[in-house]
Amino acid sequence: MTFFRIFPFCIYFKNGRLLSFYKKPFKCYLIFYHSFMYIAVLIEIQTVAYNSHTAKFPLIYFDQNYHYFIIFFIFTVALFFANQILTKMINTETQYMGLNLRNPIIIASSGLTNSVENIIELEKNGAAAVVLKSLFEEQIRYNASHTLMQDGYTNLYPEAEDYIRNYTAENDVATYLRLIENAKKAVDIPIIASINCVSDSEWEAYAKKIEAAGADGLELNIAVLPSDPGKDSRENEKIYFDIARKVTKELDIPVAVKLSYYFSGLAKTLTTLSWTDIKALVLFNRFYTPDIDIEHEEITSSFVFSTPADIALPLRWIAMLSPKVKCDIAASTGVHSGTALIKQLLVGATVVQIASVLYKKGFREIGSMIDQLESWMERHNYRRIDDFRGKLSVFEVENPAAYERIQFMKHFSGIE
């Protein structure tokens, strides 16, 4: 038993996947090697002392103690080869917002994360964490108005109308809090809540309730479309900073901010925002976009899911900002394969968030992406993600201008 107690590593399996690798370099064979040499020296000294009195050939006493050499030689060789194997094992563990993750794949806020049953299946298929579907203040307000209209309460006195509105809102929030509580009981991976509000006052109240329900973290889904010509960029940006400061001041759990690229000074805004108490930036939010039905001459919804081509925008900005911001970065939108995952890690992303690819291909795609990552790491002799994360960020590449170039040239595009 003593032999096994000294091993400073831990390997365990769950749901058919390797979750944790050795925690320290496996150098036990050195201990046995030195023990072997120490005993060898002792035996040699005893042999010399023995032969000084008996005048026998020194190897005679050695032969009487050969089993010590055999035992320690076997231990030394076995541990040496064990070390060679373990040092080549791929470790995909990482940290995001201070949370320990078994790999860098997080399921983005979507309908996929709106039930405990789905969350259980996502964990089984290898997801490292989930971001719950956002709690939308606009949706809560709509539900309240819909209840009033549906039940014919449009002419109630103000107090009754307020009661119905508040009851509907509280019921929606309570349902969301139950989802958090039940998900925490059902799985071991981190549960990150998400809220999307349109008024400053509601953010803080919702955030406190979410923390009390047991969420491991909170993602603030802030969406301000700069469409009002009467507001300048500073007014729009101030909303993000005010919300981030209000929420982080009240919470102990880590907070991330998911936002768009609609900024006049995107690099400056995101860098400055990272200096607040937030723990991560999620780049970028995927918004609803309108389209036009020319036959019926009406507004319709555009494409709901992202495509692999959508990776280009977050890839460029993560490459340029990852060395400069003071917090983690989650790459969102356009990650549809293990190749896309590796690209985002190479430019400096801490993790990726995926959803559209799971709608299209199913939950098993998570395992496929992890396998692609591990295979690539093995081919390139990377043992940990930190060995290559950010290797192709703007500060590390030979030609950083490639990330800042915005005009096509024949040399780069290959197109006349």
Q: What structural domains and CATH numbers belong to the chain?
A: 2-86 (no CATH), 94-306+316-329 (3.20.20.70)
For the cut 50, the answer to whether the pLDDT of residue 292 exceeds it is: yes
For the cut 70, the answer to whether the pLDDT of residue 352 exceeds it is: yes
For the cut 70, the answer to whether the pLDDT of residue 256 exceeds it is: yes
For the cut 50, the answer to whether the pLDDT of residue 270 exceeds it is: yes
Banded model confidence at residue 131, pLDDT cuts 50, 70, 90: very high
How many angstroms separate the Cα of 69 from the Cα of each of 39, 52, 65, 225?
Answer: 8, 23, 7, 75
Q: What percent of the chain has pLDDT over 90?
A: 45
Give the whole-angstrom CA distance, residue 381 versus residue 89: 10
| Whether the Cβ atoms of residue 56 and residue 66 lie closer than 8 Å to each other | no
pLDDT of residue 409: 56
| Residue 124 in tokens | 């089984």
Give the whole-angstrom CA distance, residue 35 versus residue 2: 15
What is the overall mean pLDDT for the chain?
77
pLDDT of residue 61: 45
Give the whole-angstrom CA distance, residue 206 versus residue 275: 24
**Measured distance between the N- and C-terminal CA atoms of the chain, rounded to whole angstroms:** 72
- Higher per-residue pLDDT: 26 or 257: 257
> What pTM value is reported for the model?
0.72
Banded model confidence at residue 91, pLDDT cuts 50, 70, 90: very high
- What does the H/E/C string look like for 366-384? HHHHHHHHHHHHHHCCCCE
pLDDT tens digits for 136-178? 765 554 444 444 344 444 444 344 334 334 434 566 788 999 9
Average pLDDT over residues 25-41: 52
Q: Exposed, middle or buried by CB within 10 Å (0-12, 13-18, 19+), for 248?
A: buried
| Whether the Cβ atoms of residue 282 and residue 330 lie closer than 8 Å to each other | yes
pLDDT of residue 254: 97
pLDDT of residue 258: 94
* Residue for token pair 């400069």: 324
| Whether the Cβ atoms of residue 260 and residue 288 lie closer than 8 Å to each other | no
Average pLDDT over residues 92-110: 97
SS3 of residue 300 by DSSP: strand
| Residue 227 in tokens | 């469409």
| Whether the Cβ atoms of residue 142 and residue 124 lie closer than 8 Å to each other | no
H or E element, residue 225: none
Beta strands 99-101 and 94-96 are: antiparallel
Give the whole-angstrom CA distance, residue 120 versus residue 74: 45
**Residue 310 DSSP symbol:** G
pLDDT tens digits for 66-86? 565 666 667 666 666 665 555
- Higher per-residue pLDDT: 279 or 78: 279
Give the whole-angstrom CA distance, residue 246 versus residue 233: 20
pLDDT of residue 265: 86
For the cut 60, the answer to whether the pLDDT of residue 290 exceeds it is: yes
Please name which of 77, 115, 138, 136 lies closest in space to residue 191, comparing C-alpha atoms: 115
Residue 100, φ and ψ in degrees, nearest 5: -80, 125
Q: What percent of the chain has pLDDT over 70?
A: 64
Region of residue 310 (phi > 0: left; psi between -120 and 50: alpha; otherwise: beta): alpha
Q: Exposed, middle or buried by CB within 10 Å (0-12, 13-18, 19+), for 352?
A: buried
Give the whole-angstrom CA distance, residue 370 versus residue 387: 17
Average pLDDT over residues 243-263: 91
| Whether the Cβ atoms of residue 331 and residue 314 lie closer than 8 Å to each other | yes
H or E element, residue 128: none
